[in-house]
Amino acid sequence: MRLGVLTGGGDCPGLNAAIRSVVRHGNGERGCTLVGFRDGWRGVLEGHADELTSDDVRGILPRGGTILGTSGTQPHRVDGGVAKVREALEVHRLEGFIVIGGEGTIGEAARLDVPVIGIPKTIDNDIRGTDASIGFQTAAQIATDLIDRLYSTAESHNRVMVCEVMGRHAGWIGYTAGVATGADVIVVPEHPFDVDLACRRIREVHALHRPFSIVVVSEGALPVPGSMPIPDYALDENGYPRLGGVGAVVAEEIGRRTGFETRVTVLGHVQRGGSPLAFDRVLATRLGRTAVDEALARRWGSVIGIHGAKIDPTPIAEVQGTKTLPPELWRIPEVLCE
């Protein structure tokens, strides 16, 4: 069997581990031919493709990023894109694609109506059909390590340290890094942020417990409407928060209201780079292996996910929409559900 493989959307730790697994299992153990496309769907449209063997993926397991490159290109938005994808299937005599990507990249395959198996990756962890997506645990760990570092400087200077982490539509990184570091306030997109409550809690912490505090803010979180101003520069053209926008605004508002010295740190792109944790390497390896086996069985149209200890496929149709934090996670005092 001949199969295409590509990575799409934002990069994250573990993509290379997934590519390696698909190629080693597909080519090395099952004798398939794997054709790797450059830069996501763009490589399919533009014909940038190379056959990949086990030797091509040697040594990439612990490395961040993707040797295939990535892009957000969506063929159905490109003139003649859909036809070109079908053409690529024929030219390379592929039975289908293994697509390592987020909702956009995988959903695209469904729209194109070509045979596809999806492997879910996104540091935001907001893809349905899996307990965890590739890259999430590593990103949450990077954020945790860095917020740990902020504690000592918060403590030495009696400051409120506000730290903005990634999480545009879901607060998985913010929740995980916030709980893992014992943050006093955690702001997630799932629950509107009440700056009054936050300031009250911060004052209480400083008065009763220790004269400094840590606030973790998800990139895409917004306050209770009307409760505090969000300046235009903090939002993009669609009214969504910009990277760094909400963190800075929240820090300023807390500083203004409490009178405590407040500083903001925006973790940004470091959260998506570098060597993946063992968790993501093993997850990527297991998902890649099962993706190949599903393709060999010609059970197309699913996303491979982990559920508890098991690796299982879910039909793409059932994984539409964003997987947000369930209420049993965010209904904790730190998320200000007082």
Site for a copy of itself in 302-331 (CB under 8 A): 307-309, 326
Rounded Cα–Cα distance for residues 255 and 217 (Å): 15
Shortest Cβ distance from residue 149 to a copy of itself (Å)? 3
Please identify, among the stretches 74-82, 138-146, 213-221, 252-260, the one whose residues bind a copy of itself according to the rule CB under 8 A: 138-146
Q: Is 263 in the site for a copy of itself (CB under 8 A)?
A: yes
CB 41 within 8 A of CB 34: no
Rounded Cα–Cα distance for residues 180 and 105 (Å): 31
Which residue's structure tokens are 């400087």?
153
Candidates 26, 43, 64, 129: give the one binding a copy of itself (CB under 8 A): 64
Rounded Cα–Cα distance for residues 243 and 166 (Å): 8
Candidates 179, 224, 235, 296: give the one binding a copy of itself (CB under 8 A): 179
Nearer to a copy of itself, 209 or 298 (CB): 209
* DSSP string over 261-295: -EEEEE-GGGGG-SPPPHHHHHHHHHHHHHHHHHH
Hey, which residues are catalytic here?
124
Rounded Cα–Cα distance for residues 280 and 140 (Å): 11
Shortest Cβ distance from residue 230 to a copy of itself (Å)? 18
Q: Is 250 in the site for a copy of itself (CB under 8 A)?
A: no
Shortest Cβ distance from residue 327 to a copy of itself (Å)? 12
CB 149 within 8 A of CB 179: no
Cross-strand pairs, 8? none
What's the number of CA atoms in the CB half-sphere (13 Å) around residue 302? 21
Nearer to a copy of itself, 89 or 246 (CB): 246
CB 188 within 8 A of CB 330: yes
Shortest Cβ distance from residue 235 to a copy of itself (Å)? 17
Closest by CA to 264, choosing from 246, 251, 253, is 251
CB 290 within 8 A of CB 311: yes
Q: Is 152 in the site for a copy of itself (CB under 8 A)?
A: yes
Site for a copy of itself in 192-211 (CB under 8 A): 209-210
Closest by CA to 219, choosing from 155, 289, 171, is 171
Q: Rg (Cα) of the chain, in Å, rounded?
A: 22
Q: Is 158 in the site for a copy of itself (CB under 8 A)?
A: yes
Nearer to a copy of itself, 76 or 310 (CB): 310
Which residue's structure tokens are 């859909």?
82
Rounded Cα–Cα distance for residues 41 and 48 (Å): 10
Candidates 282, 293, 312, 314: give the one binding a copy of itself (CB under 8 A): 282
Rounded Cα–Cα distance for residues 215 and 198 (Å): 9
Give the count of residues interacting with a copy of itself (CB under 8 A).
Answer: 73
What is the identity of the amino acid at 81? Answer: G
Candidates 157, 256, 298, 299: give the one binding a copy of itself (CB under 8 A): 157
Please identify, among the stretches 85-93, 110-118, 180-188, 223-231, the one whose residues bind a copy of itself according to the rule CB under 8 A: 180-188
Candidates 50, 51, 62, 231: give the one binding a copy of itself (CB under 8 A): 62
Candidates 2, 78, 279, 296: give the one binding a copy of itself (CB under 8 A): 279
Please identify, among the stretches 12-20, 44-52, 108-116, 192-200, the one whose residues bind a copy of itself according to the rule CB under 8 A: 12-20
Q: Is 160 in the site for a copy of itself (CB under 8 A)?
A: no
Site for a copy of itself in 71-90 (CB under 8 A): 71
Q: Is 26 in the site for a copy of itself (CB under 8 A)?
A: no
Candidates 58, 77, 93, 298: give the one binding a copy of itself (CB under 8 A): 58
CB 335 within 8 A of CB 186: yes
